[in-house]
């Protein structure tokens, strides 16, 4: 009995749940996520505050919902922008070869020489911390990743008979690339996007933990985890719930990526591991 | 073969030069002034000028870049703006923590990931495999700094077995140092073990499908012996490749983990240097890391090409 | 008594004696590792928290009440016009490497600090020096261009620590001073070890050795105290964790105050903060008691003006800017800002600032003022906020003693330009008469409160946790230092 369906379904379900919670948070949360209430600090989970309150009396459940929304938005934007740019670059490199190819790949090598977190820290130092900097850092890393991947895959596709035929029949390179090569890449792109989305969530959380992501009072899962460290002895739930949320969402994205790969790309052109 | 190596080396140097110049230019744009930083709120024009002279910041950017690049071959990386000691010294001291941490983490990664992968393959499609694969998925999804926080919560705050952070220095003995590095190594290793496990399992399964393995099975060897004698050896190449590439991941992870555990390693050094505007340390560390990553890439590429009989035949 | 019994008895006695003298070491947990160990070439407080008074001494030093006392100078006399200071130096004082301390060393130290290549963080205090006379090896006369009331105090600061020409350059990594403790080693990333100076000129330190360990994480500090790895944490990073130690008989919690006035700084160069009504409104919009509670667990002392509450000249003017949101809104309306306005609140990387910032943001929002929080690292705060004046609000603690005079400086980041205040401060700085200085200080306090120059929040507290039995630890922090020269363990 194949294992394809459970993985894909479970992944999709987790992501759907996360997105639903995130969208819901725009309309309603159990309490106002940024409402400070000094009289109700460090409350353990109870019926009023399902997941407790933090050192300023803010409701943890509400903060998690709002933080989830922010994390999903940043990760999705980063991957989408980077993915789009990288796909264009990779496709162009495979289609026109020559100097375009050389230039693009040298740039990709340059970007890959820096570990992602370090590059992100430098970016935030340059333009100031915040969601824009984090999205930019994620986009740059994804652009390089997608560029390299798409170039390899498109390169292979350009050697296929049906593409060569289309070109021979009189199409321009550009037309053939867009009409014939690109559609065949879609499956691969979906798989990669899902995997990279998982990685992007982790990177955003890590940068927020270091204080380089969303600034107060905007809720952020990573920053919540950082704040929780000082109060660990008194309020351990502050460290547990945001982390658990993060794990479940990233797990969902990872399972989604795996499930999609099994269905769309069984031959394994996309690398099997998310490489951060 | 020689041509391949030559081409790779030229590309390596070109990229490194680009990294050096790029990081120099970018980092100079970071707001803040190392000279004013030393002087604080009472900084005045004359002390600022004296500080800039001392730090070598009174030279034009092009000259500073030249001085830096010229010094690298002799190991003179400049003097840290903040600590006033040679950058090379700082990096070596930091590596004395990060390198053992990395090795420790790699050891734990292999010790966990290796046997579990073998176990999963031996019981492919049965419950041990499903359980192990699911755990690996979970491991991949877990942020290493969250693991770090939880480890501190359990082993330091609640049980009091180890200190919450810090590093006593190698002069204090191997025991105390290993104790200080244990929780950080575990935090780094768990996500890596998950990656290794999945990769190894996939590589093993793929090799297991090959014809020569079926021949071995047909000859009557038990699955375990087939695994060990034939499959494992051939799957080592992709696994080794991956371990090499994960080095960059380790350095990235160490920035966060070293901050959580307050370890005076390379990750924490470069992070604090960025915050303190100690740009000379930052660009040297960035160059060093880029060099390590690129060298490992080249070595792996060449090794793969050398080992692959298809290339050797050419 | 048989010989065997005698030996046994002697051994028992020795053992008992050893037990009694057992504890003569001290381990202190400092939050930040210093960049190096020379206070005369760097501003960082973390340096002073290791070496001030312990390793380095000046002609004077500051005591636990914030007053200068004679150290390397045995005595001094000030001329009637306040411009000439004659010092008699202590005889037979040696640096830790054996070099002799005399008038030539004083000249070297002062010339180095005020010279063209000086990177002394407090060069300003050496500015007024016109001439240095050394009639004999144990006498120094310093002539000033104008009278400076705080000159003796200034000479007691870490920036004026005496250094020897032969060892000055190496002080960053191997500090050589004249203090009761000598530097032994620095394990980078972990600790600095000091040992008792056997040939100290004064009363020998009771402690045989002192170790300063560097721990920034409050959890680590707590764990280290509990396991005994550390004897005292001068300022526990998270005040909420104090309750545990208060209840524990093995520990003592001592809460004192520092010289740091925590303020919500407002940039008078940016409208509408140039309008005093707006500033008064902001004063009423924030609840300093709640901020004190949230930022430092209520251990700070709320202040209504820029002056340390422990000082006898302090005036309690907190009622002038009491928490009153309705009044705040009324004042804003009066200033034509019924809809409030937007601004940036820039926070430096200190926990008290971050916490206070979040609370203040919420409070100002109630009054209609919408602030965006930006967190800057130290260097950027210095360059952009402090020197570049590119901010509207920021939160910072000013830790220099008698720093209320800074508001009179034309290049101060606040931009308060009142001529009357400037005049008051000028007279206060020039005066040598304690009664006159007291009156002027009070007048200055009232003016700062009346004009709501900034939002005065609270005096930064210091919550020390120490193993019971430690004697001689300073309850307050008048200067950035951990002076352990007189510390010891009670038997």
**CATH number, residue B216:** 1.10.3720.10
Fold type of domain C257-462: Dipeptide-binding Protein; domain 3 (3.10.105)
CA-CA-CA-CA dihedral for C27, C295, C266, A35, to nearest 10: 150
Q: Is B174 exposed, middle or buried (0-12, 13-18, 19+ CB in 10 A)?
A: exposed
Rounded mean pLDDT, B174-188:
89
Q: How far is C115 from chain A (nearest CA, A)?
A: 35
Decide if C178 contacts B83 (C-beta within 8 A).
Answer: no
Which of B71, B103, B118 is at the close of a domain?
A: B71
**C139 dihedral zone (left: phi>0; alpha: psi -120 to 50; beta):** beta
Upper half-sphere CA count for residue C287 (Cβ side, 13 Å): 16
Q: Confidence band (pLDDT; 50, 70, 90) for C13? A: low
User: Per the CATH hierarchy, to which homologous superfamily does domain A50-264 belong?
Assistant: MetI-like (1.10.3720.10)
- If asked whether residues B117 and B56 sit together in one domain, one would say no
Q: How far is B66 from chain C (nearest CA, A)?
A: 25
Is the CB of B252 less than 8 angstroms away from the CB of A276? yes
Does the beta carbon of B88 lie under 8 angstroms from any beta carbon of chain C?
A: no
Using alpha carbons only, give the angle C478, C482, C483 rounded to the nearest 5 degrees: 85
- If asked whether residues B100 and B181 sit together in one domain, one would say yes
| Of A128, A230, A233, Cβ closest to residue C374 | A128
* Count of pairs with CB atoms under 8 A, one residue in A, one in B: 130
**Which residues of chain C make contact with B85, given a CB cutoff of 8 A?**
36, 172-173
Rounded mean pLDDT, A242-260:
90
Rounded mean pLDDT, B65-82:
90
Rounded mean pLDDT, A208-214:
88
- Strand ranges across the sheet with C129-136: C73-78, C84-89, C139-144, C129-136
| Of B32, B42, B85, Cβ closest to residue C380 | B32
Output A200 or A273, whichever has higher pLDDT: A200
Read off the pLDDT of residues C220-272 as tens digits, 9 standing for 90 and up.
888 889 888 899 999 997 777 888 899 999 999 999 999 899 999 999 999 89
Q: Quote the percentage of chain C above a pLDDT of 70.
A: 96
| Of A115, A246, A254, Cβ closest to residue B248 | A115
Q: What tokens appear for A48 in the block?
A: 């009023």
User: Which of these ranges, A104-113, A243-252, B210-219, C41-50, has the smallest mean pLDDT?
Assistant: B210-219
Is the CB of B33 less than 8 angstroms away from the CB of C116? no
Q: Is the pLDDT of residue C136 over 90?
A: yes
Q: How many CB atoms lie within 10 A of CB C66?
A: 18
Q: Is B18 exposed, middle or buried (0-12, 13-18, 19+ CB in 10 A)?
A: middle
Is the CB of C361 less than 8 angstroms away from the CB of A217? yes
Q: What tokens appear for A106 in the block?
A: 């040298």
Q: Which of C288, C291, C297, C293 is nearest to C243 (CA)?
A: C297
Q: Which of C369, C245, C239, C254 is nearest to C294 (CA)?
A: C239
For residue A53, the SS3 value is strand
User: Which of these ranges, A83-92, B117-126, C39-48, has the smallest mean pLDDT?
Assistant: B117-126
Is the CB of C119 less than 8 angstroms away from the CB of B41? no
Residue of C nearest to B277 (CA): C379
| Spatial CB neighbours of B209, under 8 Å, sequence gap ≥ 6 | none
| Of B32, B36, B82, Cβ closest to residue C35 | B82
Rounded mean pLDDT, C412-419:
92
**Which residues of chain C make contact with B93, given a CB cutoff of 8 A?**
188-189
Average pLDDT taken over every residue of chain C: 91
- If asked whether residues B66 and B189 sit together in one domain, one would say no
Is the CB of B37 less than 8 angstroms away from the CB of C379? yes
Read off the pLDDT of residues B253-307 as tens digits, 9 standing for 90 and up.
788 888 888 889 988 898 889 888 899 999 999 898 888 878 877 877 777 666 6
Domain range for residue B215? 87-313
Backbone phi and psi for residue C343, each to the nearest 5 degrees, phi listed first:
-160, 170
Fold type of domain C3-211: D-Maltodextrin-Binding Protein; domain 2 (3.40.190)
Measured CA to CA, the distance from residue C238 to residue C460 in angstroms comes to 13
For residue B38, the SS3 value is helix
Residue B80, in any domain of the structure: no
**Which residues of chain A make contact with B141, given a CB cutoff of 8 A?**
198, 202, 246-248, 250-251, 253-254
Q: Which of C354, C337, C359 is nearest to C273 (CA)?
A: C337
Enumerate neighbours of C (3 or more CB pairs within 8 A): A, B
Measured CA to CA, the distance from residue B276 to residue C365 in angstroms comes to 32
* Count of pairs with CB atoms under 8 A, one residue in B, one in C: 125
Upper half-sphere CA count for residue C475 (Cβ side, 13 Å): 7
Measured CA to CA, the distance from residue C47 to residue C39 in angstroms comes to 6
Decide if C194 contacts C11 (C-beta within 8 A).
Answer: no
Question: Which of 123-152 (B) contact A at CB < 8 A?
Answer: 130, 137-138, 140-143, 145-146, 149-150, 152
Measured CA to CA, the distance from residue A236 to residue A101 in angstroms comes to 52
Adjacent-strand bridge partners of C183: C194
Does the beta carbon of B205 lie under 8 angstroms from any beta carbon of chain A?
A: no
| Of C41, C124, C216, Cβ closest to residue B42 | C124
Q: Which of C128, C135, C156, C29 is nearest to C86 (CA)?
A: C135
> Can you tell me which residue has the tokens 């008038």?
C103
Q: Is the pLDDT of residue B221 over 60?
A: yes
Read off the pLDDT of residues C349-382 as tens digits, 9 standing for 90 and up.
888 998 999 999 999 999 999 999 988 888 889 9
**C212 dihedral zone (left: phi>0; alpha: psi -120 to 50; beta):** beta
Enumerate neighbours of B (3 or more CB pairs within 8 A): A, C
**Which residues of chain C make contact with B180, given a CB cutoff of 8 A?**
none
Cα Rg of chain A, angstroms: 21
> Can you tell me which residue has the tokens 């994960």?
B246
| Spatial CB neighbours of B232, under 8 Å, sequence gap ≥ 6 | B118, B204
Q: Is the pLDDT of residue C343 over 50?
A: yes
Does the beta carbon of B30 lie under 8 angstroms from any beta carbon of chain A?
A: yes
Q: How far is B42 from chain A (nearest CA, A)?
A: 25
Decide if A125 contacts A75 (C-beta within 8 A).
Answer: no
Q: Is the pLDDT of residue C403 over 60?
A: yes
Q: Is the pLDDT of residue B144 over 70?
A: yes
> Can you tell me which residue has the tokens 């495979």?
A94
Q: Confidence band (pLDDT; 50, 70, 90) for B232? A: low
- Locate the domains of chain C by residue range: 3-211, 257-462
Is the CB of B54 less than 8 angstroms away from the CB of C116? no
Does the beta carbon of C348 lie under 8 angstroms from any beta carbon of chain A?
A: no
CA-CA-CA-CA dihedral for B129, B135, B141, B142, to nearest 10: -150
Decide if B153 contacts B236 (C-beta within 8 A).
Answer: no
Listed in sequence order, the DSSP H helices in B29-167 are: 34-39, 45-55, 61-71, 87-122, 127-141, 144-151
Backbone phi and psi for residue C398, each to the nearest 5 degrees, phi listed first:
-100, 115
Residue of A nearest to C293 (CA): A38
Does the beta carbon of C220 lie under 8 angstroms from any beta carbon of chain A?
A: no
Residue B81, in any domain of the structure: no
Backbone phi and psi for residue A172, each to the nearest 5 degrees, phi listed first:
-75, 165
Question: Which of 31-50 (B) contact A at CB < 8 A?
Answer: none
Is the CB of A233 less than 8 angstroms away from the CB of C222? yes
Enumerate neighbours of A (3 or more CB pairs within 8 A): B, C
Q: How many helices (H) and strands (E) does chain B have?
A: 14, 0
Does the beta carbon of A38 lie under 8 angstroms from any beta carbon of chain C?
A: yes
Q: What is the pLDDT of residue B213?
A: 66
Whether the bond into B215 is cis, omega within 30 of 0: no
| Spatial CB neighbours of B52, under 8 Å, sequence gap ≥ 6 | B35, B58
Per residue, the 3-state secondary structure of chain C, as one string, reads: CCHHHHHHHHHHHHHHHHHHCCCCEEEEEECCCCCCCCHHHCCCHHHHHHHECCCECCCEEECCCCCEEECCEEEEEECCCCCEEEEEECCCCECCCCCECCHHHHHHHHHHHHCCCCCCCCHHHHCCEEEEEEEECCEEEEEECCCCCCHHHHHCCHHHCCCCCCCHHHHHCCCCCCCCEEEEEEECCCEEEEEECCCCCCCCCCCCEEEEEECCCHHHHHHHHHHCCCCEECCCCCHHHHHHHHCCCCEEEEEEEEEEEEEEEECCCCCCCCCHHHHHHHHHHCCHHHHHHHHHCCCCEECCCCCCCCCCCCCCCHHHHCCCHHHHHHHHHHCCCCCCEEEEEEECCCHHHHHHHHHHHHHHHHCCEEEEEEECCHHHHHHHHHHCCCCCEEEEEECCCCHHHHHHCCCCCCCCCCHHHHHHHHHHHHCCCHHHHHHHHHHHHHHHHHCCCCEEEEEEEEEEEEECCEECCCCCECCCCCCCCCCEECC
Backbone phi and psi for residue C88, each to the nearest 5 degrees, phi listed first:
-105, 120
- If asked whether residues B52 and B188 sit together in one domain, one would say no
- Locate the domains of chain A by residue range: 50-264
Rounded mean pLDDT, A85-107:
87
Average pLDDT taken over every residue of chain B: 83
Q: How far is B159 from chain C (nearest CA, A)?
A: 11
Q: Could you give the ipTM of this predicted complex?
A: 0.83
| Of A113, A248, A250, Cβ closest to residue B290 | A113
**Which residues of chain C make contact with B38, given a CB cutoff of 8 A?**
41-43, 119, 121
Q: Confidence band (pLDDT; 50, 70, 90) for C18? A: very low
Q: Which of C37, C353, C26, A212 is nearest to B275 (CA)?
A: A212
Read off the pLDDT of residues C87-121 as tens digits, 9 standing for 90 and up.
999 999 999 999 999 999 999 999 999 999 999 99
> Can you tell me which residue has the tokens 């194949």?
A2
Measured CA to CA, the distance from residue C363 to residue C384 in angstroms comes to 25
Which of B25, B40, B71 is at the close of a domain?
A: B71
Backbone phi and psi for residue B156, each to the nearest 5 degrees, phi listed first:
-105, -55
Backbone phi and psi for residue B250, each to the nearest 5 degrees, phi listed first:
-60, -45
**Which residues of chain A make contact with B245, given a CB cutoff of 8 A?**
275
Cα A227 to chain centroid, rounded: 23
**Which residues of chain A make contact with C354, given a CB cutoff of 8 A?**
216
Measured CA to CA, the distance from residue A37 to residue A57 in angstroms comes to 5
| Spatial CB neighbours of C237, under 8 Å, sequence gap ≥ 6 | A230, C31, C216, C217, C218, C221, C351
For residue B120, the SS3 value is helix
Rounded mean pLDDT, B6-20:
87
Does the beta carbon of A39 lie under 8 angstroms from any beta carbon of chain C?
A: no
**A257 dihedral zone (left: phi>0; alpha: psi -120 to 50; beta):** alpha
Measured CA to CA, the distance from residue B237 to residue C256 in angstroms comes to 63
């Amino acid at each position: 009995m194949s294992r394809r369906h459970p993985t894909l379904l479970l992944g999709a379900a987790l992501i759907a749940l996360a997105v639903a919670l995130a969208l819901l948070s725009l309309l309603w949360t159990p309490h106002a996520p940024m409402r400070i209430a000094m009289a109700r600090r460090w409350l353990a989970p109870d019926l009023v505050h399902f997941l407790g309150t933090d050192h300023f009396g803010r409701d943890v459940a509400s903060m998690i919902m709002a933080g989830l929304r922010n994390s999903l938005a940043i990760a999705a934007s980063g991957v989408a922008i980077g993915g789009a740019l990288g796909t264009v670059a990779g496709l162009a490199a495979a289609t026109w070869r020559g100097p375009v190819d050389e230039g693009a790949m040298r740039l990709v090598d340059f970007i890959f020489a820096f570990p992602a977190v370090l590059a992100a820290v430098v970016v935030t130092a340059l333009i100031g911390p915040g969601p824009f900097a984090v999205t930019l850092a994620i986009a740059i890393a994804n652009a390089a990743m997608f560029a390299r991947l798409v170039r390899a895959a498109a390169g292979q596709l350009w050697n296929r008979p049906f593409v060569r035929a289309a070109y021979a029949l009189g199409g321009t390179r550009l037309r053939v690339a867009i009409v014939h090569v690109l559609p065949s890449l879609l499956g691969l792109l979906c798989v990669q996007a899902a995997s990279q989305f998982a990685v992007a969530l982790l990177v955003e959380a890590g940068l927020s933990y270091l204080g380089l992501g969303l600034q107060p009072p905007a809720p952020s899962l990573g920053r919540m985890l950082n704040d929780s460290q000082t109060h660990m002895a008194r309020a351990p739930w502050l460290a547990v719930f945001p982390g658990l949320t993060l794990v479940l969402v990233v797990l969902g994205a990872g399972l989604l990526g795996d499930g999609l790969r099994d269905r769309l790309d069984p031959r394994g052109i996309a690398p099997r591991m998310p490489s951060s | 073969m020689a041509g391949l190596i030559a081409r790779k080396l030229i590309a390596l140097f070109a990229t490194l030069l680009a990294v050096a110049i790029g990081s120099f230019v970018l980092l100079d744009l970071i707001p803040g002034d190392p000279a004013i930083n030393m002087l604080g709120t009472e900084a005045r024009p004359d002390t600022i000028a004296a500080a800039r002279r001392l730090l070598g910041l009174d030279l034009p950017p092009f000259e500073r870049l030249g001085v830096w690049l010229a010094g690298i071959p002799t190991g003179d990386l400049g003097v840290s703006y903040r600590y006033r000691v040679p950058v090379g010294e700082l990096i070596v001291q930091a590596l004395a923590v990060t390198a053992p941490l990395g090795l420790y983490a790699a050891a734990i990664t292999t010790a966990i990931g290796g046997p579990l992968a073998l176990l999963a393959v031996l019981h492919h499609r049965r419950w041990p495999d499903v359980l192990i694969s699911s755990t690996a998925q979970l491991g991949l999804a877990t942020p290493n700094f969250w693991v770090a926080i939880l480890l501190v919560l359990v082993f330091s705050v609640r049980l009091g077995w180890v200190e919450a952070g810090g590093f006593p220095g190698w002069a204090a003995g191997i025991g105390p140092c290993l104790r200080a590095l244990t929780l950080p190594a575990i935090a780094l290793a768990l996500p890596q073990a998950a990656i290794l496990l999945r990769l190894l399992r996939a590589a093993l399964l793929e090799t297991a499908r090959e014809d020569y393995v079926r021949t071995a099975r047909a000859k009557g060897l038990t699955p375990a012996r087939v695994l060990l004698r034939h499959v494992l050896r051939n799957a080592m190449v992709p696994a080794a490749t991956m371990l090499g590439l994960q080095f960059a991941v380790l350095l990235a992870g160490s920035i966060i983990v070293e901050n959580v555990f307050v370890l005076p390693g390379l990750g924490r050094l470069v992070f604090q240097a960025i915050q303190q505007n100690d740009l000379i340390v930052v660009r040297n560390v960035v160059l060093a890391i880029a060099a390590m990553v690129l060298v490992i890439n080249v070595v792996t590429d060449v090794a793969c090409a050398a080992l692959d009989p298809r290339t050797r035949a050419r | 008594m048989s010989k065997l019994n005698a030996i046994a008895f002697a051994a028992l006695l020795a053992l008992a004696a050893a037990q009694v003298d057992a504890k003569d070491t001290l381990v202190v947990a400092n939050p930040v590792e210093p960049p190096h160990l020379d206070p005369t070439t760097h501003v960082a407080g973390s340096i002073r928290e290791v070496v001030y008074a312990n390793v380095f001494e000046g002609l004077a030093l500051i005591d636990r009440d914030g007053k200068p006392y004679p150290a390397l100078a045995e005595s001094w006399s000030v001329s009637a016009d306040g411009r000439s200071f004659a010092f008699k130096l202590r005889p037979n004082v040696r640096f830790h490497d054996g070099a002799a301390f005399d008038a030539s060393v004083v000249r070297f130290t002062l010339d180095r600090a005020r010279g063209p290549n000086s990177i002394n963080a407090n060069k300003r205090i050496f500015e007024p020096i016109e001439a240095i006379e050394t009639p004999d090896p144990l006498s120094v006369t310093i002539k000033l261009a104008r009278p400076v009331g705080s000159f003796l105090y200034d000479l007691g600061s870490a920036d004026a620590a005496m250094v020897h020409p032969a060892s000055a350059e190496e002080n960053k990594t191997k500090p050589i001073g004249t203090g009761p403790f000598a530097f032994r080693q620095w394990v980078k990333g972990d600790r600095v070890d000091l040992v008792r100076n056997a040939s100290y000129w004064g009363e020998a330190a009771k402690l045989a050795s002192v170790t300063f360990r560097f721990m920034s994480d409050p959890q680590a500090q707590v764990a280290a105290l509990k396991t005994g790895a550390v004897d005292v944490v001068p300022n526990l990073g998270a005040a909420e964790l104090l309750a545990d130690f208060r209840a524990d008989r093995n520990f003592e919690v001592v809460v004192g105050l520092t010289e740091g006035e925590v303020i919500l700084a407002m940039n008078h160069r940016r409208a509408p903060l140039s309008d005093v009504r707006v500033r008064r409104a902001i004063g009423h919009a924030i609840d300093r008691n709640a901020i004190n509670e949230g930022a430092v667990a209520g251990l700070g002392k709320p202040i209504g003006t820029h002056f340390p509450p422990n000082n006898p000249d302090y005036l309690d003017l907190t009622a002038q800017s009491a928490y009153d949101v309705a009044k705040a809104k009324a004042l804003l309306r009066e200033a034509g800002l019924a809809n409030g306005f937007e601004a940036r609140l820039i926070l430096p990387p200190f926990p008290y600032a971050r916490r206070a910032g979040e609370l203040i943001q919420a409070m100002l929002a109630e009054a209609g003022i919408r602030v965006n929080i930006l967190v800057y690292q130290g260097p950027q705060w210095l360059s952009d906020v402090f020197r570049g004046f590119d901010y509207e609000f920021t939160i910072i603690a000013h830790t220099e003693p008698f720093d209320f005079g800074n508001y009179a400086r034309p290049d101060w980041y606040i931009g308060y330009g009142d001529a009357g205040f400037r005049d008051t401060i000028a007279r206060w700085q020039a005066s040598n008469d304690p009664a006159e200085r007291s009156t002027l200080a009070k007048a200055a306090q009232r003016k700062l409160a009346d004009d709501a120059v900034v939002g005065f929040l609270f005096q930064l507290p210091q919550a020390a946790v120490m193993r019971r039995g430690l004697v001689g630890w300073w309850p307050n922090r008048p200067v950035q230092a951990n002076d352990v020269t007189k510390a010891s363990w009670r038997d």
